[in-house]
């Protein structure tokens, strides 16, 4: 079997999906996470190498400013944008740090208006945003994205007015923000929270030049909604930006995972600009986890340690004979590795394979039976976790299937 037998089957997209990673902005807003400037710069470098074309950064606190300077100094093969509130001071901060483009974030729903600015009218709020966009785009020549916070609960008629106003003020791109994750991927859903409907309506009824989707995962639909936006933009928009975070980290339930969106675009939709870059996905995940303090779930798709781990007898039997039986693509494609673990569900075939892997020779039937009995005994006595490799080696040594180690651990 070849990977081409299963993937790259969809018609070529007639829109260019652009990954706009916000791990170093939205991602590190996740409670309990933090990242130092040097690690932030390394994360930016890894993301760029993996295929991200635009990075979004914070730039308020001194460590953020230092990180932004380091990232700019790397001269990465991707665009770097500063995240701003709709205040001119934030634009000045971005300019001072050398940003050539900014994202200006402001709510567009009446829910937020009433909660945050009860003494102001929607028109007053829009006027302020237009003023800040003009200040950034026309007065200082910055590329400007406007982030429509809570877009999927906004009044469409007012949102449409909002988008046209910021477009006329110089904004290049409008970001649909599914802030609380209630967006729907169903093409039949209304323009309020229907992602496909909104993607198409924004093209038809506004003057904005480019579009972005920023999906939160409160319903577990962030990747689905991001891909729905790509499909809706196909043949409608020349390009669509996809705002994602690596590992899906971020506020509350997080965001659409960069690595999942990237791999879907590459394998299912044949976006070939990611060819040769997917091998960086696991390395990037591991570094981000270490740098931020985020514990990656072992069963995390694509980049989790258990993503290609096999323990049950049925699975290991299949994998040993043909990896395609229980793996959707080779682990090497994403920089991961195959693991055959020994545990409660292990069968004779998997245990025999592991013995050969560690000792270099096949055990006799009697030896294999003794190893299987030792493993079953452990789990009969209440053990839950799979055996660490050194634990399994200890069993093999006790049965003279491996040589004893010397005092140096060899």
Residue 396, pLDDT > 90, answer yes
Looking at the chain, the whole-number percentage of residues with pLDDT higher than 90 is: 87
Asked if residue 273 has pLDDT above 60, the reply is: yes
pLDDT above 70 as % of the chain: 99
Determine the pLDDT at residue 173.
98
pLDDT digits (tens, 9 = 90+) for 57-83: 999 999 999 999 999 999 999 999 999
Structure tokens at 146: 């406007």
Q: What is the pLDDT of residue 340?
A: 87
Q: What is the predicted pLDDT for the residue at 315? A: 87
Q: Which comes out higher in pLDDT, residue 312 or 158? A: 158
φ, ψ (nearest 5 deg) of residue 236:
-115, -50
Residue 267 has pLDDT above 90, yes or no: yes
pLDDT per residue over 287-310, tens digit each? 999 999 999 999 999 999 999 998
The string of pLDDT tens digits covering residues 89-124 is 999 999 999 999 999 999 999 999 999 999 999 999
Contacts (Cβ under 8 Å, ≥6 apart) of 58 = 24, 25, 28, 64, 83
- Asked if the model's pLDDT at residue 237 lies above 70, the reply is yes
- pLDDT band for position 313 (cuts 50, 70, 90): confident
H or E stretch at 119: none
Mean of the per-residue pLDDT values of the chain: 95
* Span 260-282, average pLDDT: 98
Per-residue model confidence as pLDDT tens digits over 51-60: 999 999 999 9
Q: What local confidence, expressed as pLDDT, does residue 323 receive? A: 93
Q: How much is the pLDDT for 408?
A: 52
Q: Exposed/middle/buried for 312, CB within 10 Å: 0-12, 13-18, 19+?
A: middle
Please give the pLDDT value at position 121: 98
If you average pLDDT over residues 253-278, what whole number do you get? 98
pLDDT score recorded for residue 65: 97
pLDDT at residue 316 tops 90: no
Q: How many Cα atoms occupy the beta-carbon half-sphere of 172 within 13 Å?
A: 14
CB 286 within 8 A of CB 319: no
pLDDT-based confidence at residue 22 (cuts at 50, 70, 90): very high
pLDDT of 399 over the 80 cut: yes
Catalogue all structural domains in the chain, each as residue range(s) with its CATH number: 3-292 (3.20.20.70), 309-398 (no CATH)
Q: Among 100-114, 136-150, 287-301, 343-357, which stretch is predicted with the lowest mean pLDDT?
A: 343-357
The 10s digit of each residue's pLDDT in 160-209 is 999 999 999 999 999 999 999 999 999 999 999 999 999 999 999 999 99
In this predicted structure, the answer to whether residue 347 has a pLDDT above a threshold of 90 is no
Question: Range with the lowest mean pLDDT among 3-12, 156-165, 305-314?
Answer: 305-314
| Residue 389 reports pLDDT greater than 90 | no
Q: Which residues contact 93 (CB under 8 A, 6 or more apart)?
A: 59, 60, 65, 82, 84
103 Cβ contact partners less than 8 Å away, ≥ 6 residues apart: 56, 81, 82, 83, 84, 144, 145, 146, 147, 175
> Does residue 407 carry a pLDDT above 70?
no
Does the pLDDT value for residue 406 go beyond 70? no
pLDDT reported for residue 405:
72
CB within 8 Å of 130: residues ≥ 6 apart:
165, 166, 168, 169
């Amino acid at each position: 079997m070849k990977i081409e037998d299963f993937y790259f089957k969809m018609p070529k997209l007639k829109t260019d999906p652009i990954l706009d990673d916000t791990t170093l902005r939205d991602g590190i807003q996740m409670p309990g996470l933090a990242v130092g400037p040097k690690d932030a710069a390394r994360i930016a470098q890894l993301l760029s190498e993996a295929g991200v074309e635009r990075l979004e950064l914070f730039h308020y606190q001194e460590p953020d400013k230092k990180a932004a300077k380091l990232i700019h100094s790397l001269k990465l093969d991707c665009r770097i944008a500063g995240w701003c509130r709709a205040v001119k001071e934030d634009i000045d901060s971005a300019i001072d740090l050398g940003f050539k483009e900014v994202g200006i974030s402001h709510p567009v729903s009446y829910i937020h208006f009433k909660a945050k600015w009860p003494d102001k009218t929607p028109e007053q709020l829009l006027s302020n945003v237009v003023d800040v966009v003009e200040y950034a785009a026309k007065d200082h020549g910055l590329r400007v994205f406007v982030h429509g916070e809570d877009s999927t609960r906004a009044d469409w008629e007012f949102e449409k007015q909002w988008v046209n106003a910021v477009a006329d003020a110089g904004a290049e791109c409008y970001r649909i923000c599914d802030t609380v994750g209630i967006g729907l991927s169903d093409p039949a859903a209304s323009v309020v929270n229907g992602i496909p409907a909104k993607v198409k309506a924004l093209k038809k009824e506004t003057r904005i030049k480019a579009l972005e989707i920023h999906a939160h995962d409160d319903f577990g639909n962030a990747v689905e909604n991001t891909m729905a936006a790509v499909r809706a933009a196909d043949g409608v928009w020349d390009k669509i930006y996809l705002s994602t975070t690596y590992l899906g980290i971020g506020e509350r339930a997080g965001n659409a995972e960069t690595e999942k969106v990237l791999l879907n675009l590459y394998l299912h939709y044949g976006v070939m600009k990611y060819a040769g870059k997917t091998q960086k996905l696991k390395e990037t995940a591991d570094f981000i986890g270490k740098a931020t303090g985020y514990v990656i779930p072992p069963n995390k798709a694509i980049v989790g340690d258990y993503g290609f781990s096999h323990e049950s007898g049925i699975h290991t039997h299949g994998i040993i004979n043909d990896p395609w039986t229980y793996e959707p693509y080779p682990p090497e494609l994403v920089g991961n590795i195959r693991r055959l673990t020994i545990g409660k569900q292990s069968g004779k075939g998997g245990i025999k394979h592991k013995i050969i892997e560690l000792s270099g020779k096949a055990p006799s039937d009697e030896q294999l039976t003794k190893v299987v009995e030792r493993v079953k005994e452990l789990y009969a006595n209440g053990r839950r976790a799979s055996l660490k490799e050194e634990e399994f080696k200890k069993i093999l040594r006790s049965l003279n299937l491996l040589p004893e180690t010397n005092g140096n651990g060899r």
